[in-house]
Structure 1
């Protein structure tokens, strides 16, 4: 190995790869900040994370953490949409998942955390559709018909009615009365 470039002198020295750590000679200040933060990062997240950290230099561990959360939000949106679709919640929109992802501050949220944030965003939309749970239910049904989704099945309608009741804070007898009213 020459003292100037670290390259092996000959074939015998080149076979001893484990004896020498591989060095990366050109790490950006953003990469150095990411490594110094000590937060585990998936290699596929690095390009986006480096760009975000570069914009915020000098970056401490909290800055790197915030940038990593931004990088991961896209995946969380996809995961929330998948969870909603698997549950048959066809009224959940992508922008609600994006809004929900924007409220999450954990680096690795579980499905329950994602769904809680999504439920909050959907509840806000339902409350925005009308002054009552019935108006919100009608608004969602109209949106789905307009989008070509057709009418909701009885079980999907009941699930949406439960979400509308929860969004408006109906509980106990009030919720039962509302659910009976809209299922009749």
Structure 2
């Protein structure tokens, strides 16, 4: 097994462990067993538990990015107006697939862990800032192409919409809101906040 392959299996096992049982029951030994590697190899690749959690967060972010059409590293975006790209971006987490449900659980758990663990707090905050900036720039693109109201403050709208997605996902993961209802609520909020009259 190559080192890159081992690291990938470890991160995927970590993601599964958090999705199944949460952070409170997260054990590096369980991750190693699921990945088919030694505990020593986990620490070789990720130094410590927080390093593994950060890599797991990166994995969860990549999964959402793929689903949501987030711009690649060259800044290229999919075709379509800014409003449509924003809807695609924000609704990526609301697809309702088992994988996206598990991804939402992982994200909720990592955000909760960041409340108490300074070792991953900066990484979580940096990811949230990046996501919010991505939403802000997509709103600005929509304002430039006329699909989003020009009088909307893009930064404030991005803050509101990303917080709304986080809140909706937290309700979905505990079963108090369906995927469809959450998607409709988000679309309604986007229409009311951003659509030109």
Q: TM-score, length-normalised on structure 1? A: 0.32
Greater relative contact order, per chain length (Cα 8 Å cut-off, separation 6+): 2
Name the larger-Rg structure. 1
Higher helix share: 2
